[in-house]
């Protein structure tokens, strides 16, 4: 579990010791350098729960920019059958061309991790969010390349609690929008 002075960004951790200009407030809801917010933030509304998160512009610049330009996304959550505690969008979202490489490739995911699956072979081009331990897998448990786009950092506990019911209650309405 990450404390209030660390936040997982990409494949590593950053905190006040790793970067002297990085400030993290008590609830890790806003990262800043010199008092200015860092980069692009999104708001995810699932049912009646609202959470916000930070997009990883430096680690996945092309994919983050393509997602940002596509927002808002209004869709439904679909349980990611083979991948653990995660849901994906019902609709497809072609953020980058088929030839574009996967940026900031993710492995195992944890609650609040935001990914993009450019599954051109399967015809699945999905935005997805983990609400617990997961890894993007094909039906025969083969890991699939996905872009690690960001991480929710506010109201994550309520988000997780609500999303855990998707597998039992069925899809929920979701909106992914710019947090402005």
Confidence of residue 34 (pLDDT cuts 50, 70, 90): low
Over 60: is that where the pLDDT of 26 sits? no
The CATH number for 172's domain is: 2.40.100.20
Identify the band that residue 25 occupies on the pLDDT scale cut at 50, 70 and 90. very low
Q: What is the pLDDT of residue 37?
A: 54
Q: pLDDT tens for residues 108-161? A: 999 999 999 998 778 788 999 999 999 988 777 788 889 999 999 999 999 999
Does any domain span residue 29? no
Number of domains in the chain: 1
Please check whether residue 33 lies inside any domain of the structure. Answer: no
For residue 109, being part of any structural domain is answered with yes
* Rounded-to-integer distance, Cα 180 and Cα 171, Å: 27
Q: What CA–CA distance (Å, rounded) separates 112 from 163? A: 11
38: confidence class by pLDDT, cuts 50, 70, 90: low
For range 162-174, the mean pLDDT:
94
The reply to whether 9 falls in a domain is no
b/e string for 118-157 if b means 16 or more Cβ within 10 A? bbeeeeebbbbbbbeebbbbeeeeeebebbbbbbbbbbbe
- Residue 81: what pLDDT? 77
Question: What per-residue confidence (pLDDT) applies to 83?
Answer: 87
Q: Residue 14 above 50 pLDDT?
A: no
Examine residue 171 and state whether it is found in any structural domain, yes or no. Answer: yes
**Residue 157 lies in domain:** 40-178
> Does the residue 86 lie in any domain?
yes
Share of the chain above pLDDT 90, in %: 63
With tokens 């439904």, the residue in question is 76
* Nearest residue to 2 via CA among 85, 111, 87, 84: 111
Model confidence at 16, pLDDT cuts 50, 70, 90, reads very low
Evaluate whether residue 123 is within a structural domain.
Answer: yes
Q: How would residue 82 be classed by pLDDT, with cut points 50, 70 and 90?
A: confident
pLDDT above 60 (res 28): no
How many helices (H) and strands (E) would you count in the chain?
Answer: 3, 14
Residue 132 domain-assigned? yes
């Amino acid at each position: 579990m990450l404390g209030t002075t660390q936040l997982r960004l990409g494949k590593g951790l950053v905190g006040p010791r790793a970067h002297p200009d990085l400030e993290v407030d008590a609830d890790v809801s806003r990262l800043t350098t010199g008092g200015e917010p860092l980069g692009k933030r999104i708001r995810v509304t699932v049912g009646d729960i609202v959470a916000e998160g930070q997009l990883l512009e430096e680690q996945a610049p092309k994919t983050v920019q393509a997602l940002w330009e596509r927002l808002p996304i209004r869709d439904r959550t679909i349980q990611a059958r083979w991948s653990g505690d995660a849901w994906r969008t019902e609709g497809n979202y072609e953020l980058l061309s088929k030839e574009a490489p996967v940026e900031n490739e993710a492995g195992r995911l944890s609650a609040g991790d935001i990914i993009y699956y450019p599954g051109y072979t399967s015809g699945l081009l999905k935005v997805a969010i983990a609400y617990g331990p997961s890894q993007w897998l094909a039906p025969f448990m083969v890991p699939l390349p996905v872009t690690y786009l960001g991480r929710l950092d506010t109201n994550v506990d309520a988000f997780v609690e609500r999303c855990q019911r998707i597998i039992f209650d069925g899809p929920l309405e979701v909106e992914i929008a710019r947090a402005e």
